Amino acid sequence: MRRRTNQSQRVQQQSALRSTLPVATQRPARPLWPPRRVGISLCSLAAAALMVQAGFLEWVVGTIVDQAVCNIITLILCFSGLLSLVLWFVRESGHAKHFKWLVVSGIIATALLAVAVLRIERVSGDLVPEFYFRWNPSRDRLLPPEQSLAGKGAAASGSAAGLWQGTAQDFPKFLGPLGTGVIDSIALDPDWIASPPQLIWRRQIGAGWSAMSTCGDHAVTLEQRGDEEIVACYSVLTGAQEWSVPVSARHATVLGGIGPRSTPTICDGIVYTAGATGWLHAIDGTTGHVRWRKNILVDLGIDAEAHAAAVSWGRAGSPLVTAELVIVPAGGPLLADGGGNLSLVAFERDGGAVRWTAGSQQISYCTPILVTLAGREMVMVVNESQIAGYDPADGRTLMEAAWPGHSNSDASCTQAVVVGQRQVFVSKGYGIGSALFEIENSAADPLLLRQVWHNASNLKTKFSNVVLYQEHAYGLSDGILECVRIVDGKRQWKSGRYGQGQVLRVGSLLLVQAESGEVVLVDAAPEQQRVRGRLEALPGQTWNNPCLSGNRLLVRNAQEAACYRLPLSAAPLVATDVAAQ
pLDDT, tens only, 425-457: 999 999 899 999 999 888 888 998 999 999 999
Q: 99-108, 226-235, 497-506: lowest mean pLDDT where?
A: 99-108
CATH number of 150-572: 2.140.10.10
What pLDDT shows up at residue 6? 58
Q: CA 219 to CA 302: how far, in whole Å?
A: 32
Q: Are 10 and 16 in contact (CB under 8 A)?
A: no
Q: What 3-state DSSP class applies to 29? A: coil
**Average pLDDT of the residues of the chain:** 89
pLDDT one-digit tens code per residue, 292-340: 999 999 999 999 999 999 999 999 999 999 999 999 999 999 998 788 9
CB atoms under 10 Å from CB of 447, counted, come to 21
Give the residue, 62 or 387, on which the prediction is more confident: 387
Q: Are 530 and 522 in contact (CB under 8 A)?
A: yes
pLDDT one-digit tens code per residue, 15-34: 555 555 454 455 567 777 88
- Statement: residue 145 has pLDDT above 60: no
What pLDDT shows up at residue 14? 56
Cβ neighbours of residue 436 closer than 8 Å, sequence gap 6 or more: 419, 423, 424, 425, 451, 452, 453, 454, 486, 487, 489
Q: CA 574 to CA 223: how far, in whole Å?
A: 38
- Statement: residue 390 has pLDDT above 50: yes
Q: CA 447 to CA 400: how far, in whole Å?
A: 7
Q: CA 355 to CA 346: how far, in whole Å?
A: 5
Q: How confident is the model at residue 172 (pLDDT cuts 50, 70, 90)?
A: very high
Rounded to two decimals, what is the model's pTM? 0.87
Where do the CATH 2.140.10.10 domains begin and end in the chain?
A: 150-572
What pLDDT shows up at residue 579? 41
Give the residue, 154 or 498, on which the prediction is more confident: 498
What pLDDT shows up at residue 128? 83
pLDDT one-digit tens code per residue, 334-358: 998 788 999 999 999 999 999 999 9
Q: What 3-state DSSP class applies to 330? A: strand
- Statement: residue 39 has pLDDT above 90: no
Cβ neighbours of residue 9 closer than 8 Å, sequence gap 6 or more: none
Q: Are 413 and 405 in contact (CB under 8 A)?
A: no
Region at 62 (left for phi over 0; alpha for psi -120 to 50; beta for the rest): left
Give the residue, 513 or 114, on which the prediction is more confident: 513
Q: 109-123, 125-139, 426-440: lowest mean pLDDT where?
A: 125-139
What pLDDT shows up at residue 148? 41
